[in-house]
Amino acid sequence: MNNPSNSELILVLGGTGKTGRRIVQRLTKRGFETRIGSRTAQPPFDWQDRATWSPALQGASAVYISYQPDLAVPGAVEAVRSFAKLAISRGVQKLVLLSGRGEEEAQRAEQAIKDSGAVWTILRASWFSQNFSESFLLDAVLSGTVALPAGDVGEPFIDAEDIADVAVAALTENGHAGQVYEITGPRLLSFAQAVDEIARASGRPVSFEQVTPEQYSGVLGQHGVPKDVAALVMYLFTTVLDGRNAHVTDGVQRALGREPRDFTDYARDTVAAGAWRSPQ
């Protein structure tokens, strides 16, 4: 597939999420016709309602696939496989999948994309830095205590800005077909170290507290977190964060020809944007 022209439509699933909205912003700025794939968009897209898939795909030549809530949940692989098959039948030529490191189900979803017949690129990302500022850990940071069932295992936190840059390159440029980019930040940090960096950058009294999986599961239940979401979070902390991903990779360098953003850069920019400012 040649570089898509600005007149060709790119569908961005999860187009209002952490990576998707950044991708949409970049594509729009560069003049590409873009369609947001979300339940609130027109036409709407919902992974749980297959009747919405075909209208969202109408006229698209490339698709960024972000499965919600995660490729590890039951049914995700079959949904991705079915969507990819439908996309190809509707004339889509290029698929870019956001995947996860060290997750068996994610790798099965990757294989479904590889087997689809499309020009494909896989973005196998580490833990998002933005989980501390745009996701479930934001309230914990604002409360002053981030309590998690995470020990001293290092994680190479990846900035969502880097994920978006790699995704846009894969969607709009040649040279990325058939590539599995394992994308991480430039260094390992434990969750305690990450929280310390947030405290220093923000000037907030934020501390990390290690709790047992049982304690954390109980906290999720007390806050009314749905059982399937709670099970996913527990899986990530008790299984995926077991040291299997405690190494950095060169995926961002391979895709973009530059080093990934450091967690310090993320913390500085997040403070500047006011994300950790106490509500008035």
Q: Where are the domains of the chain?
A: 9-128+159-184+246-261
Residue 3: predicted pLDDT: 57
Asked if residues 66 and 34 have their Cβ atoms less than 8 Å apart, the reply is: no
Is a pLDDT exceeding 80 seen at residue 5?
Answer: no
Residue 62: predicted pLDDT: 98
| DSSP for residue 204 | -
Query: Measuring CA to CA, how many Å separate 7 from each of 31, 59, 87, 155, 176?
Result: 9, 11, 19, 40, 21
Residue 115: predicted pLDDT: 97
Query: H-helix or E-strand containing 36?
Result: strand 33-37
Asked if residues 197 and 267 have their Cβ atoms less than 8 Å apart, the reply is: yes
CA-to-CA distance for 250 and 25, rounded, in angstroms?
Answer: 25
Confidence of residue 215 (pLDDT cuts 50, 70, 90): very high
Q: For the residues of 110-171, what is the DSSP string, one character each?
A: HHHHHTTSSEEEEEEE--BGGGGTSSTTHHHHHHTEEEES--S--B--B-HHHHHHHHHHHH
Is the bond leading into 44 cis (omega within 30 degrees of zero)? no
Q: Which residue has the higher pLDDT, 104 or 229?
A: 104
Residue 220: predicted pLDDT: 87
Is a pLDDT exceeding 80 seen at residue 280?
Answer: no
For the entire predicted model, the pTM comes to: 0.95
Confidence of residue 1 (pLDDT cuts 50, 70, 90): very low
The residues that bridge with 179 in the sheet, in sequence order, are: 121
What's the average model confidence in pLDDT over 218-223? 86
Residue 6: predicted pLDDT: 66
CATH number of this structure's domain 9-128+159-184+246-261: 3.40.50.720
The residues that bridge with 208 in the sheet, in sequence order, are: 146
Other C-beta atoms within 10 Å of 182: how many? 22
What's the average model confidence in pLDDT over 242-268? 97
Of 106-115, 153-162, 230-239, where does mean pLDDT reach its minimum?
A: 230-239
What's the average model confidence in pLDDT over 115-144? 96
Which of 57, 52, 65 has the alpha carbon at shortest distance from 19? 65
% residues pLDDT > 70 (the chain): 97
